[in-house]
């Protein structure tokens, strides 16, 4: 059985970018709900003893997916995606500290500049129709890239790709503060991104 991961910071630690109220609902209701659903779906099945990534991959590989494997994939993937999301964020302490030199050097090497990467993430986020996720992943040769997935989609389908960082762009991630303005949420989130996931 799975448990909701422990949040690596207090629920008000990402303010003002992400409010305590947003995290309270997002982590305490949405993420918890995916964990609870997943546990119900795997109970007394062969999935019960599998690791989370394995369940995501197994459920994703079922073709055609029926309602049960669809639910299993959606809930397992949403647990995995949210786990990485919370670990892709960190408090901006001390305020304005910015990213580490190592992360900045890594980003500059592959994207030319931090602004260029932010622009790419903003474009991919705002062009994604409906709910989804924006990822920074790396290929087998360690070169990183930005991509989006729809709904509960994850890059785990491709064994040659490693997800490093993810931003949740479902409306439940920002609606309480930013209403329907996804780009305002993305603009506000930079100081609390855990860029050390990259370097
Ligand atoms: Fe979410």
**Mean pLDDT in order along the chain per 10 residues (199 residues):** 97 98 98 98 96 96 89 98 98 92 96 98 98 97 97 94 98 98 98 95
Total count of residues recorded for the chain: 199
Using the mean position of ligand 1's atoms as its centre, give its distance from the Cα of residue 54 in Å: 21
The number of C-alpha atoms within 13 Å of 105 and in the hemisphere containing its C-beta is: 4
Using the mean position of ligand 1's atoms as its centre, give its distance from the Cα of residue 109 in Å: 30
The number of C-alpha atoms within 13 Å of 90 and in the hemisphere containing its C-beta is: 17
Using the mean position of ligand 1's atoms as its centre, give its distance from the Cα of residue 66 in Å: 24
Using the mean position of ligand 1's atoms as its centre, give its distance from the Cα of residue 173 in Å: 5
Using the mean position of ligand 1's atoms as its centre, give its distance from the Cα of residue 112 in Å: 30
33 vs 79, 117, 143, 148, 177, CA distance in Å?
Answer: 9, 33, 35, 23, 21
Q: Would you state the pLDDT for residue 128?
A: 98
Q: Would you state the pLDDT for residue 199?
A: 82
Q: Are 99 and 195 in contact (CB under 8 A)?
A: yes
């Amino acid at each position: 059985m799975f448990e909701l991961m422990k949040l690596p910071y207090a629920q008000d630690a990402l303010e003002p970018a992400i409010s305590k109220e947003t995290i309270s609902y997002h982590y305490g209701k949405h993420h918890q709900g995916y964990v609870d659903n997943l546990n119900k779906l795997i109970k007394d099945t062969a999935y019960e003893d599998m690791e989370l990534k394995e369940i995501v991959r197994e459920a994703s590989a079922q073709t055609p997916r029926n309602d049960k494997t669809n639910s299993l994939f959606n809930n397992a993937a949403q647990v995995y995606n949210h786990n990485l999301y919370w670990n892709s964020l960190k408090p901006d302490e001390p305020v304005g500290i910015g990213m580490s030199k190592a992360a900045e050097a890594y980003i500059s090497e592959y994207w030319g500049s931090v602004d260029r990467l932010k622009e790419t993430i903003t474009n991919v986020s705002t062009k994604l129709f409906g709910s989804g996720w924006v990822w920074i992943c790396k290929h087998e040769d360690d070169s990183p890239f930005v991509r989006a997935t729809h709904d509960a989609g994850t890059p785990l389908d491709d064994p040659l790709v490693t997800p490093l960082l993810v931003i949740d762009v479902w409306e439940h991630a920002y609606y309480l503060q930013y209403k329907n303005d996804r780009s305002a949420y993305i603009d506000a989130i930079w100081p609390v991104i855990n860029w050390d996931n990259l370097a």
